[in-house]
Amino acid sequence: MAYPDTWETTRIKASNLQFVQRLAWAAVVAIMVVYAWLVPLDSAANQQVDAGLKRALLSFASARAPNAIISAVQGTEVAVEPAGIGVIFTAGQVLDPVNDLIEQFSDLMLIASVSFGIQKVLISIGSYWMVSLLLSLALAGWAFFYLRMQSVSGWLTRLLVVLLRARFAVRWWRSEARNCSRNSWPPTIRQASRSSI
The pLDDT value given to residue 12? 63
pLDDT of residue 54 exceeding 90, the answer is yes
For 124-177, the pLDDT digits (tens) are 888 888 888 888 898 888 888 877 777 878 888 888 888 888 888 777 776 677
Q: Which residue has the higher pLDDT, 48 or 116?
A: 116
- Find the range with the poorest average confidence among 3-17, 88-102, 169-183: 3-17
pLDDT of residue 61 exceeding 80, the answer is yes
d(CA 159, CA 168): 14
Give 47's Cβ-side CA count (13 Å radius).
Answer: 9
| Whole-number Cα distances in Å, 145 to 15, 29, 86, 114 | 18, 13, 88, 41
The pLDDT value given to residue 42? 75
The pLDDT value given to residue 117? 92
pLDDT of residue 1 exceeding 60, the answer is no
Q: Judging by beta carbons within 10 Å of its beta carbon (0-12, 13-18, 19+), is residue 170 exposed, middle or buried?
A: buried
Which of helix, strand or coil describes residue 174? helix
Return the percentage of the chain with pLDDT > 70, whole number. Answer: 78
The pLDDT value given to residue 24? 85
